[in-house]
């Protein structure tokens, strides 16, 4: 296989199995492949060498050691995705996948031991489709670069961190009047980097608020230009639940909206489900104030966390974004169809909208329509675009997804 800009770490205590697995990744063309015997060595290596794209990890039949390893590696936030070598039952696999989602690591799939080239090739393709092909050219040097706090601050101050825009669209008509703002780093030497390459560091350095306000400023300017061109749109921003506790959030937000003469009702804030597990009084107060101002509130990545009905009823949300994994395998997975149907029923009872994430193919759109879904987001309509491209896209499509 040709060169793949992918960094892989194999965690396997059995020397021969470790050798086989690392060799399979090397033969597949992965740029950087390392093997270690246990979690301590893995953590030490990650600390020395920085983020990896994929960790392959074994879950044994007995004992909790494998789970502890998965959790410890995920919590470093240096691991982008995981492949798990396991022969446990399906329901246990589903639960583990959910746990990884909560820990912010994307799950690529399970493989059997010994690891085989064909199985790995499928998962590498999946990885490339969801990350590299996702408008994120992977740069070798960039992957090795751990931005310092000063470098990130400098990047935010100089607007190297950009607002990109991806439409939410009506599954029936293809029309779109709302875009999600997604962060990208236009790194001078390396090209466009995805959030996975810098968001964790921004969080560690306490720069999430500065990042948000920089993206807000750019996005409001975009909204104003779009309006001048005849497109009245609304925008959705991602916020971490912790940011809602910051006292200066609302005054700064209101000041920016006033400067651009944009009403708060044209904004929605997406907060990930897992961040809502513990809501402090301060966070709840901000959620209520945002709603009272007229802004929308959306539960992001719904279905992979632990939201309960009680939680949903307590919090003033207006929208559920159903995680992309439920739009996969619609034909064959009765479990996914059941999750979608029950989410629609729940949302209807609570008077909330549902947006299904990860709509990539026409067959998914058809399947979702059959289940009664109205709104989606995904590559079928458009990938995240820079402001300039988004404005051109809006003009070309007359705010309707061309494929539909
Ligand atoms: P998210 O909020 O769930 O955003 C959706 C992610 O799925 C985006 O990844 C988007 O590019 C990707 N995506 C959209 N359509 C499809 C599709 O059809 N197929 C597939 N495979 N993927 C699709 P991205 O831009 O890499 O962002 C990853 C996550 O980073 C976001 O997940 C969000 O949680 C976080 N994020 C991005 N920008 C910001 C930000 O400004 N602030 C905060 N707090 N989080 C952000
Ligand atoms: Ca989101
Ligand atoms: Ca999401």
C-alpha–C-alpha distance, residues 206 and 149, integer Å: 9
Q: Which residue is closest in CA terms to ligand 1's atom 33?
A: 238
User: Do both 97 and 154 map to the same domain?
Assistant: no
Q: Is there a domain that residue 263 lies in?
A: yes
- 323 CB within 6 A, ligand 1: no
Whole-number Å distance, alpha carbon 218 to ligand 3 midpoint, is 21
Q: Which residue is closest in CA terms to ligand 1's atom 25?
A: 182
C-alpha–C-alpha distance, residues 231 and 179, integer Å: 12
User: Do both 284 and 386 map to the same domain?
Assistant: yes
Give pLDDT, residue 204: 85
Q: Helices 65-75 and 90-102, interaxial angle, to 10°? A: 20
C-alpha–C-alpha distance, residues 380 and 166, integer Å: 11
Going along 178-273, which residue ranges are E strands?
178-187, 191-193, 234-239, 267-272
Measured between alpha carbons, how far is residue 235 from residues 178, 179, 264 in Å? 6, 5, 10
Closest atom of ligand 1 to 212 CA is: 41
User: Do both 105 and 173 map to the same domain?
Assistant: no
- 101 CB within 6 A, ligand 1: no
Beta strand 234-239 with 106-111 is unpaired
User: Do both 163 and 294 map to the same domain?
Assistant: yes
C-alpha–C-alpha distance, residues 166 and 168, integer Å: 7
| Size of the chain in residues | 404
Give me the DSSP letters along 353-390: EEEE----SHHHHHHHHHHT--EEESTTT---B-HHHH
* Dihedral angle computed from the Cα positions of residues 228, 232, 238 and 241, in that order, rounded to the nearest 10 degrees: 120
Measured between alpha carbons, how far is residue 80 from residues 56, 198, 225, 382 in Å? 11, 12, 35, 23
Number of domains the chain contains:
2
Per the structure, the complete domain to which residue 356 belongs is given by 146-399
Domain boundary among 102, 131, 160: 131
Q: Is there a domain that residue 139 lies in?
A: no
Residue of 185, 195, 321, 324 to test ligand 1 pocket, by largest number of atoms within 8 Å of CB: 195
Domain boundary among 86, 108, 131: 131
Low-confidence ranges of the chain (pLDDT < 50): 133, 135-144
Give the SS3 label for residue 323. coil
C-alpha–C-alpha distance, residues 210 and 62, integer Å: 46
CA-closest candidate to residue 350, choices 274, 297, 396: 297
- 66 CB within 6 A, ligand 1: no
pTM attached to this predicted model: 0.75
Give pLDDT, residue 202: 92
Give pLDDT, residue 139: 42
CATH number of the structural domain spanning residue 318: 3.20.20.450
Q: Tell me which of 12, 97, 270, 357 is the catalytic residue.
A: 357
User: Do both 235 and 192 map to the same domain?
Assistant: yes
pLDDT tens for 186-229 read 987 778 888 988 998 898 899 999 999 999 999 999 999 999 99
Asked if 267 contacts 235 with a C-beta cutoff of 8 angstroms, the reply is yes
Q: Which residue is closest in CA terms to ligand 1's atom 7?
A: 358
Bond into 74 cis (ω within 30): no
User: Do both 89 and 162 map to the same domain?
Assistant: no
C-alpha–C-alpha distance, residues 275 and 239, integer Å: 10
Angle at 148 between CA 157 and CA 145, to 5 degrees: 110
Measured between alpha carbons, how far is residue 382 from residues 163, 216, 355, 378, 398 in Å? 15, 21, 15, 6, 13
Q: Catalytic residue at 331?
A: no
């Amino acid at each position: 296989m040709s060169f793949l800009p992918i960094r892989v770490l194999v965690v396997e205590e059995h020397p021969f199995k470790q050798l086989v697995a690392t060799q399979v990744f090397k033969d597949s063309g992965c740029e950087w492949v390392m093997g270690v015997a246990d979690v301590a060595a893995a953590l030490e290596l990650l600390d020395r060498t920085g983020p990896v794209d994929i960790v392959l990890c074994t879950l044994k039949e007995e004992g909790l050691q494998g789970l502890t390893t998965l959790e410890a590696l995920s919590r470093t936030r240096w691991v982008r995705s995981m492949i798990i070598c396991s022969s446990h039952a399906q329901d246990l696999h589903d639960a583990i996948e959910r746990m990884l989602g909560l820990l912010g690591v994307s799950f690529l799939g399970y493989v059997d031991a010994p690891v085989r080239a064909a199985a790995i090739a499928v998962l590498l393709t999946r990885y490339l489709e969801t990350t590299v092909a996702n408008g994120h050219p992977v740069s070798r040097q960039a992957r090795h670069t751990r931005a310092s706090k000063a470098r990130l601050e400098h990047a935010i101050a100089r607007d190297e961190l950009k607002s990109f825009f991806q439409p939410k669209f009506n599954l029936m008509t293809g029309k779109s009047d709302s875009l999600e703002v997604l962060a990208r780093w236009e790194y001078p030497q390396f090209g466009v980097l995805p959030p996975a390459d810098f968001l964790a560091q921004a969080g560690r350095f306490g720069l999430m608020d500065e990042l948000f306000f920089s993206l807000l400023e750019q996005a409001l300017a975009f909204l104003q230009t779009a309006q001048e061109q005849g497109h009245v749109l609304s925008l959705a921003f991602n916020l971490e639940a912790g940011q809602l506790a910051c006292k200066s959030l609302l005054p700064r937000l209101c000041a920016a909206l006033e400067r651009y003469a944009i009403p708060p009702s044209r904004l929605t804030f997406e907060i990930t489900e897992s961040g809502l597990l513990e809501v402090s009084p301060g966070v709840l107060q901000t959620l209520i104030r945002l709603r009272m101002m007229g802004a929308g509130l959306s539960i992001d990545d719904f279905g992979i966390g632990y939201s309960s009905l009680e939680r949903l009823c307590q919090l003033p949300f207006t929208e559920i974004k159903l995680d992309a994994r439920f739009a996969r395998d619609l034909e064959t997975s009765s479990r996914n169809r059941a999750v979608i149907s029950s989410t629609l029923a729940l949302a209807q009872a609570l008077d909330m909208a549902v947006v299904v994430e990860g709509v990539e193919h026409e067959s998914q759109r058809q399947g979702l329509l059959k289940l009664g879904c109205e709104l989606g987001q995904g590559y079928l309509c458009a990938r995240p675009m820079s402001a300039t491209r988004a404005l051109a896209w809006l003009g070309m499509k007359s705010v309707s997804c061309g494929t539909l």
